Structure 1
C-alpha cells in the first residue's frame, strides 16, 4: 500500500516515534566519503588517460600509469580520510577533557557560561534559571552543550574512520577503473579508445552528481551537470598539458 508523503511525515513525527528516534545515536553515513572517492578516482585516472592521449602515448602506457595512480592515489586518499576523521575525533575529545577540567576547577564560571549562552538565545527569568539548572545537573549534557555552543563541535564518536576510509577507497577504485576499460581491448584504435573512455568518464561524473542529488535532495540535473563540468575541466587541463608537452619534446601524436 502506497502512503501519502505527508501522512508518512506526520507519522514519523508522533511523540513516541520521535522519542525512540532521538534515543538512538546518530548513524554513521559514508555517502559523502564514497562520493568524494568516486569523483577523485574518476578525475585521477581520466586525467592520466587524457595526458597520455594528448601526448600520443600507447594504450599500454595509459593503462600502466592509470592503474598505478589508481592504487597509489586511492590508498593515499583513504589514509587521508581516516586521519582526517581521527583528527576530528581527537580534537573533540581534547575539548571534552578541557571542559571536564574547567567544570571541576571553576564550576560557577562554567555555569555562568551556560547562562550567558541561553541569555543570547533570548531566555531570561525563571525559564532561564530552569534551563541552567537542568543542564548543569547532568554533567555529560553540560559538557556536550559547551562543545556545541562554545566551540561549535559536535560529538564525533559515532563516526567510524575505518569505514569511511574503506568507502573512499572502494569508490575510488570502482569508479576510477571505468575510464581505463576501453584501453584494455586491442579491437579499437587509440582514438576510439580515448573517445569511449571520455564518454564513460562523462557518464561516471554525471551519475555521481545525480547520486549526490538523490542523497542530499538537490536538483538532480543541475548536480549531475555541475559534477560533469568539474571533471571535464580537470580532464581538459590534463589533455592540454599532455599535448603541449608532446609538442615541446617533438613526439608523434595519434
Structure 2
C-alpha cells in the first residue's frame, strides 16, 4: 500500500476540493440541496474515474523508465480513484445524515476543510515538507476553490436568473 499512498492522497485531495466546490457552487446559486447530492455523486464517480484513468495514462506515457504494464499502472489509478471517492464523499455527509439539518452547508464546509488539512498533512509521509505546512497548503487551496465556486454559482444565478425564471 505504501507505494500507492501518493496516488491515494492525490485522489483524496482532489475529491474533497471538487466535492466542496460543487456544494459551494450550488449553494452560491441558491439551488436545491437535492442538486448538491445528485451533482456531488455524479462528480465523485465521473471525476474520480477520470483522475484514476488519467493517472494510468500518465504512467503509461513515461519515457524515462521502463513502460509500466497496464496492470501496474492500473494499481496506481485504482488508488487514485479510491482516494477520490472514499475521502471526497465526506463533505456530502452533511447532506446525507439527518443530524446536520439546518446547517448543512456549514457542516459540509467544516468537514471538508478539516479533512483537507488532515489529508494535506498526510502528504508529509512522502514529501520533505512538514505536516503543518502541507496541511495548511491544502486547506488554503480548498478554501480558495470553495470561495471561487460559491462566487461563480452566485454570479451565474444572477445572470441566468433573469433569463430563466
Alignment TM-score, normalising by the size of structure 2:
0.88
1:39, 1:205 within 8 Å by CA — same for their partners in 2?
A: yes
| Correspondences of 1:20-169 after superposition (within 5 Å) | 29-88=3-62, 91=63, 153-155=64-66, 157=68, 160-169=72-81
1:40 deviates by 1.0
CA RMSD of aligned residues (A): 2.1
Distance (whole Å) between structure 2 residues aligned to residue 84 and residue 71 of structure 1: 20
Q: Secondary structure of 1:216's partner?
A: coil
Please, which runs of 5 or more residues in structure 1 have no aligned partner?
Answer: 1-26, 92-152
2:20, 2:91 within 8 Å by CA — same for their partners in 1?
A: yes
Please, which runs of 5 or more residues in structure 2 have no aligned partner?
Answer: none
1:67 deviates by 0.3
Greater Rg by CA: 1
1:194 deviates by 0.2
Q: Are 2:52 and 1:178 equivalent residues in the alignment? A: no
Aligned residues: 160
1:64 deviates by 0.3
Runs of 4+ in structure 1 deviating by more than 4 angstroms, as ranges, are 155-159
1:155 deviates by 4.2
Query: Which residue does 1:21 correspond to in 2?
Result: none
Change (3 A) 1:70 1:157: closer
1:175 deviates by 1.0
1:237 deviates by 0.6
Alignment TM-score, normalising by the size of structure 1:
0.59
1:28 deviates by 7.9
